[in-house]
Chain A
Amino acid sequence: QLQLQESGPGLVKPSETLSLTCTVSGGSISSSSYYWGWIRQPPGKGLEWIGNIYYSGSTYYNPSLKSRVTISVDTSKNQFSLKLSSVTAADTAVYYCARLLMVYANYFDSWGQGTLVTVSS
């Protein structure tokens, strides 16, 4: 069964770069049928899509975050990563990684449990 697990620092200082990794187990990140995505949820608020990446490295980003976001993939480790630069308190959120099925459908079919990242000095 596919599992996704987010990992990274739970506390980041303002103006620094948030870095998270999602480790995929029970399936290959190199499957041609899927993209891999990051979604976040500020405390008490709704879900916000950050971006998706294909195993080849092709990316799509939320236009509102595009200038600060980089998503990368490491197929040898079955991982993909998120970097968000110049963070502020508004970037405090639970960050989820998820798998996006792209063949004959288009939806997030598997989610990680999420990890809380707090931006504070």
Chain B
Amino acid sequence: QTVVTQEPSFSVSPGGTVTLTCGLNSGSVSTNYFPSWYQQTPGQAPRTLIYSTNTRSSGVPDRFSGSILGNKAALTITGAQADDESDYYCVLHMGSGVSVFGGGTKLTVL
């Protein structure tokens, strides 16, 4: 069974930089899985941030960036702001047509 792993929680200071990661329980994450990232605040639907590893969705500030770091996908927030405090989810799209969500990372800005 494919399991996508994310840090359960992370904290960052305002103005700081944080990198959240997205891994696989077996194997490495590559661009072939089209990693995408979503931001969700309580009571709201997810918002698309990054797709195809490193492409920002329309309207997303450039302080959000995506990459592959080692064997994981990564979401980096540079110059974190208070309203970046949210849950962040990555999704990997397996070649079999199956999409797998990570467990999510709760980001605190303090």
Contacts and interface: CB of A to CB of B under 8 A. Distances in A.
Interface of A: 37, 39, 46-49, 52, 60, 62-64, 96, 100-101, 104-109, 111-114
Interface of B: 1, 34, 36, 38, 40, 45-48, 51-52, 55, 57, 87, 89, 91, 93, 96-104
Contacts of A111: 45-48
Task: Indicate the member of B34, B36, B45, B52 with the most A CB atoms within 10 Å.
Answer: B45
Task: Indicate the member of A49, A106, A108 with the most B CB atoms within 10 Å.
Answer: A106
A46 B103 contact: yes
A109 B104 contact: no
Nearest to B106: A46
Nearest to B8: A46
Given A107-B52, A108-B91, A49 B101 contact: yes
A111 to B, nearest CB: 4
Contacts, number: 66
Given A46-B104, A107-B93, 9 more contacts: A46-B87, A100-B99, A106-B51, A106-B52, A107-B36, A107-B48, A108-B46, A109-B51, A109-B57
Contact of B51 (A48, A64, A107, A114): A107
A107 B98 contact: no
B48 A108 contact: yes
A118 B91 CA distance: 26
A111 B91 CA distance: 14
A114 B102 CA distance: 19
Contact of A46 (B45, B57, B89, B96): B89
A104 B31 CA distance: 12
A105 B99 contact: no
Nearest to B103: A46
Contacts of B102: 46
23 contacts: A46-B101, A46-B102, A46-B103, A47-B38, A47-B101, A49-B98, A52-B99, A60-B96, A60-B99, A63-B1, A63-B98, A64-B1, A96-B45, A96-B46, A104-B52, A106-B36, A106-B51, A106-B93, A107-B93, A108-B48, A111-B46, A112-B45, A114-B45
